[in-house]
Amino acid sequence: MTGPTNHFGLNRRLFLNGCAGSLGPLALAHLLKCERAVAGAGPSAKEHPLAAGSADHPTRARAVISLFQNGGPSQMDLFDPKPMLNRFHGQPYPGDLETHFHEQVGNVLASPFRFAKCGDCGMELSELLPHTAKIADQITLVRSMKTL
């Protein structure tokens, strides 16, 4: 006996692949709603969890472009030059690695792409971004993000 036929050609993997960019904001809205309910301050019509609040300082940004590149190049190959990887390319990693399979242990690999300083600010960008390099002085690249 075979499983149910999918008449629309959409399976779970294709659904998540196509909708991955929208699942994050939905999850955030749900978590904020739950957090407010636990704190005893249920969301009112006036104070929605995603509503804009007052800032500590005046804002200057007029727009934000969020890049979600599902299947795209890694940020390490686009925005994050690693000169030490170039220096140790092809050599075994000198430190300890936590691996789950012995086949995972290999030599250090440098980025296959060149990086160059762009614009007056000297922002280092990959050769994969020639058009972004032309406007390097007009954009902000945040490299100091941390998570808990």
**Domain range summary for the chain, segments of one domain joined by +:** 14-42, 73-148
| pLDDT top residue among 16 and 143 | 143
Q: Are the C-beta atoms of residues 123 and 117 closer than 8 Å to each other?
A: yes
Secondary-structure breakdown of the chain: helix, strand, coil percentages, each rounded to the nearest 5: 30, 5, 60
pLDDT above 60 (res 42): no
The percentage of residues in the chain with a pLDDT greater than 70, rounded to a whole number, is 71
Residue from 124, 93, 125, 95 nearest 109 by CA: 93
- For the record, the structure tokens of 66 come out as 């969020």
Round to whole Å and give the CA distance between 87 and 80: 15
pTM: 0.49
pLDDT above 80 (res 85): yes
Question: Using 50, 70 and 90 to split pLDDT, how confident is the model at 136?
Answer: very high
Question: Using 50, 70 and 90 to split pLDDT, how confident is the model at 134?
Answer: very high
